[in-house]
Amino acid sequence: MEKLNGKKINTAVFISGRGSNLRSLIEHYKKKNSLLSIKLIVSNNRKAKGLIYAKRSKIIKYVTNFKNKNVSEKKLLKKLFNHKINLICLAGFMKILSENFIKKFKKPILNIHPSLLPKYKGLNTHKKVIKNKEKFSGSTVHLVSTKLDSGKIILQKKIKISKYENEKTLEKKILKIEHELYPKAIKKFLINL
Ligand code: GAR
């Protein structure tokens, strides 16, 4: 990706559900002197609650259902190129992008994952963390590579798990830190380009 030269980076945020991280990114980047401009919101799920933020912020949304991954990804790549997207931020996007998509997009793709990677890759992280009686958990922002939840780590934030923690309380705690962690990690990533 080209170095920053005062220009905002055209960004697409991908979601599948609630979209609280999307909401926080929109809030963060609506300031005039911010690094990014969120131009596109993509979802594989037309019922994703988070799509409401596209409407509220007048950001273009694009839904493709991934039933045929190959077809969806092809259409999506076209859309991303048409909108001159230079960065993708996955924010609760629950589909795995193919190697072909990652290679063809050619630009950085970031993801936020609710665990201290490399621990607890994949799904149901909070459930597994509680079951294993971990003392700490957290969230990680990393570059997306062709291996699931395995790309270079940009930033992590750790939290302590209390004796009384359950899946729900842990999810809530982690979401709260994610809303600050993602913009921080994006900044770190961009200034180190
Ligand atoms: C977030 O906790 C995010 O880290 C996680 O889904 C949640 C989405 O919440 N992502 C993954 O599990 C990706 N493997 P949100 O829709 O409210 O932003």
pLDDT in tens, 27-39: 999 988 899 999 9
- Tell how far the Cα of 154 is from the centroid of ligand 1, in angstroms: 17
126 is an active site residue: no
pLDDT tens profile 50-106: 999 999 999 999 999 999 999 999 999 999 999 999 999 999 999 999 999 999 999
Task: Kindly give the pairing relationship between strand 87-90 and strand 109-113.
Answer: parallel
Distance (Å, whole) CA 57 – CA 19: 13
Q: Token digits for 138?
A: 């957290």
State the DSSP code for 35: S
Q: Which atom of ligand 1 is nearest to the CA of 20?
A: 17
Distance (Å, whole) CA 124 – CA 159: 18
Answer yes or no: is the C-beta of 43 below 6 A from any ligand 1 atom: no
With a cut of 70, say whether residue 2 has pLDDT above it: no
- Tell how far the Cα of 174 is from the centroid of ligand 1, in angstroms: 10
123: three-class secondary structure by DSSP: coil
Q: Which atom of ligand 1 is nearest to the CA of 22?
A: 18
In order of their start, the domains of the chain are: 1-107 (3.40.50.170), 114-140+156-193 (no CATH)
- Tell how far the Cα of 91 is from the centroid of ligand 1, in angstroms: 6
191 contact partners, CB below 8 Å, separation of at least 6: 4
